[in-house]
Every structure is written in C-alpha cells, then in structure tokens.
Amino acid sequence: MLHIPTRQQNGSVRNRIYRCLYEAERPCTRQALARKCQISMPTLYQNLSELMEEGLVCDSGAARSTGGRKAMRLDIAAEARFAVGISITAELIRLAAVDLRLRELAYREIPCEGKAAQVLTEPGQLAAALEQFLDENGLSQEKLLGVGITVPAIVAPTCDRVIFAPTLHIKDVSLTERMGEIPYPAYVDNDACCSGFAEWYIRHDLKDMAYLSLESGVGGVLILGGVSFDGDHRRSGEFGHICIEPGGLRCNCGQRGCLEAYCSARRVTDELGLTLEEFFGRVEAHDPACETLWYDMLRHLAIGISNIHTAIDCDVVLGGWVSEYLPPYLQALKRYVMDSNPFAEDAEFVHLSTVRRHIAPMGAALNFVLEFVDQV
C-alpha cells in the first residue's frame, strides 16, 4: 500500500472515491467503498460511472462469497496514466516510466562516459533521449503526466538553473532552454531529494528521516513530517560535504575531507579502477586491498551517519547504488556508528533503503503521480 501525504486536494466526491481506492490495501467492493467514503449508493454509482468511462477505475475480480451472488471488486486502473523520471549522473542517464502505483513500466540506461553534463548544456539531447525512450517502449504521449528530471546539484528555487553540480563539473547553468524543448510538463530537482521523498513515501513507517544517497556523489535530504526541509538557500541535506577528515582527501567540491570523498562509488573507481560489482566481488573474496578500502569507507560512513544523527536526532536511511551492496555489512556499520556516537544507546536508527535501484527517476516521476491523484 502506498502512503499518501497530506496535500492540496480538490475535495470533490469523485476525488474522495478515487483516493479511497488508491489508498486501499486491496480492491474494494462497491458496498465497502460507499461505507468508507460515507456516501449513498446512488452517489457512488454516479461517480463510479464517470471514473470507469474515463478508464480510471476498473473491475478487479469477484470478492469471496458469503452466500449469494459474489460482489465485484474495484481498483484504480494503474496504467491509465504514467510519468517519466530522468536521473542524470556523471556516468549515466537513467530513464524510468512508472504507472500510478509506481510500478516500473520501462527503464533504460544511457552510458555517458563523464559527458552527462552535455544533456543540460547542448540543445536537443535531453528531449531526443526522452522521445526515443517513449517510442522504443510503446508509451503513449497522451497518457504521459509529466517528466521529472534529477541532477546531483543545488537547484535554484525556481527550478530553472543549476547553481552548483560538483560531480558534473558545472556551475550556474540555466535550464530554461532545455526544459522548453520538452513538450510535456517538466521540472528539475536534486536527485537525493527526489530519492529520499520517494523512499519516505513508499515505506511510510518513519515520520522524520535523514536520507543519505551513496552514488557517484553523496547527497541527502531531511524530511520532517513528510515535507523536505530545504533551508534558506535549498542547501539543506548536502550531507556529502560534511567534513569528516580535516585536511583529508580532495572532494569534487574543491574542499578536503568531505564525506563524499570517502564514501562515494567514485572513490572505488579512482583508487582501484574497478566497477562496484568487481570491487565487492573482490571484497567477498577477501582481497586485501579491496577489504582495506571498503572498511575504511565504512568507518568514515559511520562518522558521517553519527554526525547527522547527533545534529538532527532522527532515523537515517541509506540509499543509492552503494547501498545495494551494504546488507552483509550493515551490522559492522552499526558497530562503527556506535563507536563514534556517545549519545545513542544503539544504532537501530540506521536503515537501508527499501528501493535501492532506480529510486531517483522514480522519485522524479512521483511528483506528477501525486498531483494527478489529488486532482482526479
């Protein structure tokens, strides 16, 4: 079941019915739906007729019989609409299409060999990649709600300019022309912010959380009661640039000793020339160089987690590519967190993301899904 945060809704009976179906753990009978929405059966039938004619609600099989004729159950038609998320990183452009239940309909990766920033600076590339993705997967433009784009960057509040993207090596880049080339509703936001909100939205067991994204860079977001805390200049959650080793390794931001310099996937590539898959294969095989580097990364990650928890005192969730390889080492990481945290009684506030693959493009698409659900 997806958890719907409180948002601006249109307040109509029609929307109450649709949202009730959307939030339900399983398909509902008409009688159960009328009770939940506290409306009469004639009112229910009138609104359901409209929703079904528009292809937004559908029959979902018969309910278990308790004697007599079986009642038909109803559900939303999840593939009636879809949204696309595009995640731009230094190495890859990732495109994902998701339906109204956030189920992945299509996915594509485009290797960039360090040239990903070109899609933001050169005309036509981003729009062309999007159209090719839609065509290759038979996705109808008429059903497309919008396109969310994530970048590992501080993005202006107006979402029309990248202020600073260390891993992409760009600063103060206007996005107005690139967005104008996309003939659908579109917006741009920070990748970790989108990933973190999607994680919070899907798991719905944490009121507040700090999300730490471990990919080619390290970013994050602080979510309080379902709302991201952006700070005065939209720089809140830049956990990757907390200094954990004064005078230490050089970071992409130009400073030394940042969490990103010690715990990003790029450290593995820069120091050993390995992919993550190759690296962790060697860690499991007890290769001395790889084990030494990995446990150094874990110890520095623990310092960063401890600092975040000490400052904010909420659960910390680890996501991104690197987190895919963390399950066997989670207990070791928690021990390191305890060693560096004088206030916590345990490290059970440390969690792994429930969605570790493709969550950035999923989070980028989520905005349009929620907007649609609110306005049906």
Each domain of the chain, given as residue ranges in start order, spans 13-76, 82-195+358-375, 203-352
Written in H, E and C, the secondary structure of the chain is CCCCCCCCCCCCHHHHHHHHHHHCCCCEEHHHHHHHHCCCHHHHHHHHHHHHHCCCEEEEEECCCCCCCCCEEEEECHHHCEEEEEEECCCEEEEEEEECCCCEEEEEEEECCCCCCHHHHCCCHHHHHHHHHHHHCCCCHHHEEEEEEEECCEECCCCCEEEEEHHHCEEEEECHHHHHCCCCCEEEEEHHHHHHHHHHHHHCCCCEEEEEEECCCEEEEEEECCEECCCCCCCCCCHHHCECCCCCCECCCCCECEHHHHHCHHHHHHHHCCCHHHHHHHHHCCCHHHHHHHHHHHHHHHHHHHHHHHHHCCEEEEECHHHHHCHHHHHHHHHHHHHHCCCCCCCCCEEECCCCCCHHHHHHHHHHHHHHHHHC
Query: What pLDDT is stored for residue 36 in this prediction?
Result: 93
What pLDDT was estimated at residue 60? Answer: 85
Question: Are 82-195+358-375 and 203-352 equal in CATH topology?
Answer: yes
The CATH architecture assigned to 13-76 reads Orthogonal Bundle (1.10)
pLDDT above 60: residue 191? yes
Q: How confident is the model at residue 3 (pLDDT cuts 50, 70, 90)?
A: very low
203-352 has which CATH code? Answer: 3.30.420.40
Pick 61 or 288 by higher pLDDT. Answer: 288
What's the chain's average pLDDT?
91
Proportion of the chain above pLDDT 90, given as a percent:
75
In this predicted structure, the answer to whether residue 169 has a pLDDT above a threshold of 90 is: no
- What does CATH list as the number for 82-195+358-375? 3.30.420.40
Q: Which residue has the higher pLDDT, 95 or 92?
A: 95
* Residue 289 or 170, more confident: 289
Query: What pLDDT score does 314 carry?
Result: 95
51-71 pLDDT, tens digit per residue, is 999 999 999 876 665 555 667
